[in-house]
C-alpha cells in the first residue's frame, strides 16, 4: 500500500474555489470601511470646529468688549473674530481657534480659508460632497458626507 504525500489536484481546486467565494463576499464590506472612516473623520472635524467656535465665543463674552477684533485664548493664541465673537474665515481666525498648526493645516485635510463657508475636505476622497463647512458669518458648522 502506497501512502499519500500531499493533496490531489481536485482538493486544491476545491479549496481555491471556496477561498474565491469567501473573498467575493467579504470584499464589498472592506470597501465600505474606507467610506465609513472618511465619514467618521469629517464628523470628528465638525465636532472640533463646533467646540472651537464655542470656546472662542465664550472667551469673547467673558472679556466683555464688543469692540474686540481678537480674542486671546488661555494658551496665548490670538483668534481673529467678527461679529458676536465668531472666528473669522481666515487661518488666523478659525485656523487658530482649531490650533491647526503651521500655515493653518490639518493633517489629511485640504482647507479652503478665506471663503465663506470655509471647507474642510479629506485629501483622500475629499470631494465637494464630503466635507465639513464653517460659516464665518454665523458660526454654524455643517457636514456633507454623501460623497465620501
Cα of 136 vs its chain's centroid, Å = 18
Quote the CA–CA distance of 89 and 84 in Å, as a whole number: 14
Place of cell 481555491: 16
Mean of all residue pLDDT scores within the chain: 86
Residue pair 49/141 in contact (Cβ under 8 Å)? The answer is yes
Write phi, then psi, for 110 (nearest 5 degrees): -105, 125
Tell me the three state secondary structure of residue 28: helix
For the stretch 11-28, pLDDT in tens is 889 999 999 888 888 877
The model carries a pTM of 0.76
Quote the CA–CA distance of 144 and 148 in Å, as a whole number: 9
Segment of 14-18, 64-68, 102-106, 114-118 carrying the highest mean pLDDT: 14-18
Amino acid at each position: 500500500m502506497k501512502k499519500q504525500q500531499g493533496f490531489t489536484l481536485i482538493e486544491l481546486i476545491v479549496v481555491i474555489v471556496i477561498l474565491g467565494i469567501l473573498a467575493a463576499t467579504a470584499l464589498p464590506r472592506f470597501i465600505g470601511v474606507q467610506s465609513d472612516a472618511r465619514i467618521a473623520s469629517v464628523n470628528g472635524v465638525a465636532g472640533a470646529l463646533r467646540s472651537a467656535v464655542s470656546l472662542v465665543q465664550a472667551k469673547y463674552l467673558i472679556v466683555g468688549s464688543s469692540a474686540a477684533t481678537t480674542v486671546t485664548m488661555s494658551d496665548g493664541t490670538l483668534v481673529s473674530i467678527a461679529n458676536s465673537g465668531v472666528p473669522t474665515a481666515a487661518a488666523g481666525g478659525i485656523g487658530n481657534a482649531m490650533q491647526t498648526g503651521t500655515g493653518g493645516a490639518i493633517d489629511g485635510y485640504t482647507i479652503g480659508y478665506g471663503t465663506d463657508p470655509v471647507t474642510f475636505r479629506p485629501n483622500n476622497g475629499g470631494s465637494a460632497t464630503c466635507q465639513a463647512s464653517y460659516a464665518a458669518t454665523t458660526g454654524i458648522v455643517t457636514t456633507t458626507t454623501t460623497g465620501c
